[in-house]
Amino acid sequence: MKIASPLEKPAAVAAQAITVAGYPKPITLAYADWQPEDAYRGTVVAVHGLTRQKRDFDFVAATLAKNGYQVLAVDAPGRGGSTWLGDPNLYNLDFYADVFVAFLKHMGLTRPHWLGTSMGGLIALKMAEKGKANMFRSLTLVDITHKPARAGLDRIMGYITEDLPVFSSPDQYLEIIKKNL
């Protein structure tokens, strides 16, 4: 296996506007596209954890690309360069599953490999629960299991919902952060 340098960058960073059933306007998903350097062996869709973003996958994506895989590392809605949804009720696994089903269809991806870290893995499991398990050639879960312990999920939900402000935009968030530095 060829190993990449941790400083390598994706071939392209792009965004696609997709339509999600039941959502009133297109959602833009930002992604880093790593093209295979050897004979094409398949596509890997990589989705990050709750508080992370697409560039978390730079090193592993570069290594996979050196070994024949295209890697699309995608920012989930509300993260990185993807659409800020505004409505906090939309940030849930059911909605994310619908978004990523629409993304796979929009990109013309049939049965890619899925690499999901934490929330990214839960999104894939929710897609499977909704009858979309056949959308993946393989499923790799990182920092999550197919049966997470209730106590662990409760602990995560506790720290992400406890007295957190809701910002009207990413700019408002940055403004508040700058004031408090």
Question: pTM for the full model?
Answer: 0.82
Sheet holding 138-142, edge to edge: 12-18, 27-34, 69-74, 42-47, 113-117, 138-142
Which pLDDT score, from 0 to 100, does residue 168 have?
80
Helices (H) and strands (E) in the chain, counts: 5, 6
Q: Mean pLDDT across the stretch 28-50?
A: 93
Hey, is 12 helix, strand or coil?
A: strand
Q: Mean pLDDT across the stretch 44-50?
A: 95
- What residues contact 94, with CB distance under 8 A and at least 6 apart? 126, 130
Q: How many domains does the chain divide into?
A: 1
- Judge whether 6 lies within some domain: no
CATH of the domain at 66: 3.40.50.1820
**H or E, element range at 66:** helix 58-66
Please check the confidence at residue 121 and state whether its pLDDT lies above 90. yes
- Judge whether 2 lies within some domain: no
Identify which of 9-18, 69-78, 126-135, 168-177 has the greatest average pLDDT.
69-78
- Judge whether 65 lies within some domain: yes
Confidence at 7, pLDDT banded by 50, 70, 90: low
| Residue ranges making up the domain that contains 16 | 12-179
Confidence at 157, pLDDT banded by 50, 70, 90: low
